[in-house]
Amino acid sequence: MNEPAVYTVKQFGARFAVSRTRFYRLVQEGQLSPLKIGRRTVVTATEAQRWLSSLPPQRKQSQSEALWCNALQIPIAKERHHA
């Protein structure tokens, strides 16, 4: 998949499963540095990759957690694959 050079807030949210509210919270916390192009807020692909790389690794789910999730019909989180 070809990555765009920049992501709009909407594109970033769709690509990285981040809500608009969470996006702006990440910006406010200094975890994400967007750019302004006119009135549009964008994130460069390089910045998006930097942010993604800064996230802690997702821990593996134990067998007992998996059994509970299955019994309660809770969706199991999928592993995050870095692009």
pLDDT digits (tens, 9 = 90+) for 50-77: 999 998 887 666 666 666 656 666 555 5
More confident residue, 16 or 74: 16
Identify the pLDDT of residue 58. Answer: 72
* Distance from C-alpha of 79 to C-alpha of 57, rounded to nearest angstrom: 9
Identify the pLDDT of residue 56. Answer: 84
Unique residue bearing structure tokens 């692009």: 83
* Distance from C-alpha of 53 to C-alpha of 57, rounded to nearest angstrom: 9
* 25 CA to centre of own chain: 13
More confident residue, 28 or 3: 28
Entry pTM: 0.67
Identify the pLDDT of residue 3. Answer: 80
Q: Where are the domains of the chain?
A: 6-71
CB atoms within 10 A of CB 54: 9
H/E stretch holding 58: none
Question: Which tens digit of pLDDT belongs to each residue from 30-46?
Answer: 999 999 999 999 999 99
